[in-house]
Amino acid sequence: MRCGQHAPPISGDDTMAGKGALTELGCWYVDLITGFRGIATAKAIHIEGRSQTQLTPRSTPKSRFDASTPSVPAEWFEDGRLARLPMGKITII
* Domains of the chain listed by start with CATH number: 1-59+72-93 (2.30.30)
Q: 3-class DSSP state for residue 29? A: strand
CA dihedral (67, 25, 86, 1) positive or negative: positive
- What are the two backbone dihedrals, phi and then psi, of residue 51, each rounded to the nearest 5 degrees? -130, 145
Whether this prediction's pTM lies above 0.75 is answered by: no
Tens-binned pLDDT, residue by residue, of the chain (93 aa): 556 554 444 444 443 333 445 788 889 999 999 999 999 999 999 998 889 999 998 765 555 555 555 567 889 999 999 999 987 666 665
32 residue type, one letter: L
C-alpha to C-alpha distance for 57 and 22, rounded to whole angstroms: 19
C-alpha to C-alpha distance for 42 and 53, rounded to whole angstroms: 6
